[in-house]
Amino acid sequence: MAARQSFSGKAAIVGVGYTDFSRDSGRSVLHLALEAIGKAVADAGLERHAIDGLLSYAINDSVPVATVARALGLSRYRWHADYAGGGSLSASILTSAAMAIEAGLAETIVVYRALNGRTGKRMGQIGAGAGDGSEAQFVNPYGMLGPVHMFAMTAQRYMYERDLKPAHLAELAVLQRSKAVDNPKALLRQPITVDDYFAAPSIASPLRRFDCCLETDGACALIVTTAERAKGLVARPVTIHAGVRAGGRGAGMPDKAGDDLRTIFSHYVAPALYDAAGMVPGDFDIAGFYDAYSFLLLNQLEDFGFCTPGEVGGIVTSGRIGMTGDLPVNTGGGMLCEGYVHGLNNIVETVEQLQGKAGVRQVKNATTALCTGFGGAYGSALVLTAER
Amino acid sequence: MTTAPGKPKPDTTPLTQPYWQAAAEKRFVIQRCRACRHWIHFPEPACPACAGTDLAYEPVSGRGTVETFTVIERSFVPGFNAGGPYAVAWIGLPEQAGLRVLGNVTGCPPEEVHIGMAVEVWFEERAGFGLMPNFRKAG
């Protein structure tokens, strides 16, 4: 595949590691990070002193990379950064690793996200924080607080424009949960029915409990190194082929969004991604779409050109995004079911599929994957590939 | 026995003082750029259309249309958590395409709220603060 980015094919993921995803880890964020990183290093067949770069992202809820480096006993390291932000970074942080490696600024980078997202700072209870704080006076007094209220209104408008009904979200939630049944990493593995979906509480219409991602304690880590080194380390390196960030006006900042009241990141990211990667929708075998909310899966399918706007209502019943479809989406159930590590657990599941390590969930011949990171109307996307 | 915390009070800033002063007088105003006449909400230190900094607050009609909404049944927001389901909406103002404010929609059951619904401003007394703009089903 033609690629137009200098780092394309120059870096590869050689190991993943993760803690369990729980509602009470009983350990510190640093402890979670170290556990995930230790497992990732072992998965890559390396020792921790091989790490010479560290990248992470957080919303004031984690432990800085320098602290992790100290705890890992690294006597020296090179390129490192703490990004401030949430899920918008989950795909692009791998791109950042690839860029640093291609530029020769580090050779073996650990990327991690660690948080006590249930027992510590819970995303569902923070202010929307989309601005400098001054916008709170026009929002909080009306009983609006946090991303779920904000994106419920995005969902409401999207469903209105696409003539989607609650039953469409119900069948999507049921489908995604069915994928978690075979995923030992997932917190929620019991299948649900449409009746279960409607019996669960409404959080903020149209979003019910099973439309919203979990809040969990946990950590994920990935080891990225040069393509050359990767070949010698593991049987199936997962190559970083392309990655972008993009954004614009839209959901998350509707006050200034004009006509783009419900526009999400993928509207801006998709054209940038296809241009950078030199690819088309049909090139992908699987996708790891950011699923803070169920409806985002439908919106991303449309924005990335996997279906037309008119087809989103029927996409679940078409079977196309199921495990035997032409584009299995979030093969472990995603953040709706597995855990919420601000998108990095979706990247991990995708990597395991490309490594051929997805066990019972393995999608045959999965060699090319699309992953995304959502932050409202801005975010990122990543293309990962592996040899057959 | 302590009383339950009331609904949040607007945390005003120097930039937004005139908005809240007008509300205290039951006037609904929106920030506007004197140079290019662009209406601006939420208020900004500079005009997003022309970067101008000569900004003032001018009256708008108080009419609006629900562009999207959500009905919240269980809330973490103080003062809202025991009062039953309530609607929050982005309300488009007719004065400018894309100009919108956030508010509740009162004066009807929350399940009646819909995209395209006509609403009008009213002034709600917020305990410990004073009057603030809010919206209800248009009469």
Over residues B30-73, the pLDDT tens digits come to: 999 999 999 999 999 999 999 999 999 999 999 999 999 999 99
Which value does ipTM take for this structure?
A: 0.97
Residue B5 is predicted with a pLDDT of 74
> Inter-chain contact A140–B8, Cβ cutoff 8 Å?
yes
What pLDDT is attached to residue A351? 98
Distance from CA of B101 to the nearest CA of A (A): 7
Task: Using the predicted structure, report yes or no on whether residue A294 has a pLDDT greater than 60.
Answer: yes
pLDDT band at A121 (very low <50, low <70, confident <90, very high): confident
Q: Given this model, what pLDDT does residue A290 score?
A: 98
Instruction: Indicate which residues of A carry an active-site annotation.
Output: 290, 340
Residue B82: its pLDDT value, please?
86
Where helices occur in A73-142 by DSSP H, the ranges are 89-102
Note the pLDDT of residue A1. Answer: 67
* Residues of chain A with a CB closer than 8 angstroms to some CB in chain B: 124-125, 131, 134-146, 149, 152-154, 156-157, 160, 201-207, 254-259, 261-262
Task: Tell me what percent of the residues of chain A surpass a pLDDT of 70.
Answer: 98
- Position B8 scores a pLDDT of 96
Contact list in B for residue A125 (CB cut-off 8 A) is: 76
What torsion, rounded to 10 degrees, do the Cα atoms B103, B109, B114, B120 define?
A: -50
For the residues A204-217, what does the mean pLDDT come to?
97
B77 chain-A contacts, CB cut-off 8 A: 140, 143-145
pLDDT for residue A124: 72
CA quadruple A23, A27, A29, A34: dihedral positive or negative? negative
Q: Please state whether the predicted TM-score (pTM) of the whole model is above 0.95.
A: yes
Query: Which pLDDT band holds residue B3 (cuts at 50, 70, 90)?
Result: low
d(CA A101, CA A186): 32
pLDDT tier for residue A129 given thresholds of 50, 70 and 90: low
How many CB atoms lie under 10 A from the CB of residue A196? 16
Distances (CA, A) of A209 to A125, A144, A204, A247, B40: 15, 17, 9, 28, 35
pLDDT of residue A2 exceeding 80 = no
pLDDT, one tens digit per residue, over A38-66 is 999 999 999 999 999 999 999 999 999 99
Q: Which of A146, A154, A255 sits opposite B42 (nearest CB)?
A: A255
Tell me the C-alpha distance between A88 and A371, whole Å: 11
Q: Do A138 and B75 touch (CB under 8 A)?
A: no
- Reply yes or no on whether the pLDDT at A131 is more than 80: no
Query: What average pLDDT does chain A have?
Result: 96
Q: Which two tokens stand for residue B15?
A: 């930039």
Q: What is the pLDDT of residues A241-289, one digit of tens each?
A: 999 999 999 999 999 999 999 999 999 999 999 999 999 999 999 999 9
Closest by CA position to A111, among listed A124, A125, A123, A101: A101
d(CA B93, CA B108): 20
Residues of B whose CB is below 8 A from A131: 42
> Does the distance separating the beta carbons of A262 and B68 come in below 8 Å?
yes
Query: According to the model, what pLDDT value does residue A138 have?
Result: 97
Among B12, B90, B91, pick the best mutation site for testing chain A contact (most A Cβ within 10 A): B90
Residue B81 confidence (pLDDT): 84
pLDDT bracket for residue A90 (50, 70, 90) = very high
CA atoms of A183 and A214, how far apart (whole Å)? 15
User: Cβ contact (<8 Å) for A204 and B42?
Assistant: no
Mean pLDDT of A359-366: 97
Nearest by Cα to A348 from A233, A191, A226, A184: A184
Predicted local confidence at residue A97, as pLDDT: 99
Q: How many angstroms separate the CA atoms of B100 and B65, rounded?
A: 9
Residues B66-104 have pLDDT tens digits of 999 999 998 889 999 888 999 999 999 999 999 999 999
Compute the distance between CA of residue A339 and CA of residue A22 in angstroms, rounded to an integer: 8
- Per-residue pLDDT band at A18 (split at 50, 70, 90): very high
Which value, in Å, is the radius of gyration of the alpha carbons in chain B?
16
d(CA A221, CA A65): 12
Q: Has residue A125 got a pLDDT over 70?
A: no
Beta bridge partners of B40: B31
Task: Give the per-residue pLDDT at B74.
Answer: 83
Q: How far apart are CA A106 and CA A103, in angstroms?
A: 8
* Strand residue runs (E) in B2-138: 29-33, 39-40, 55-59, 63-72, 86-92, 100-106, 118-126, 130-137
Q: Is the pLDDT of residue A122 over 90?
A: no
Contact A272, A378 (CB under 8 A): no
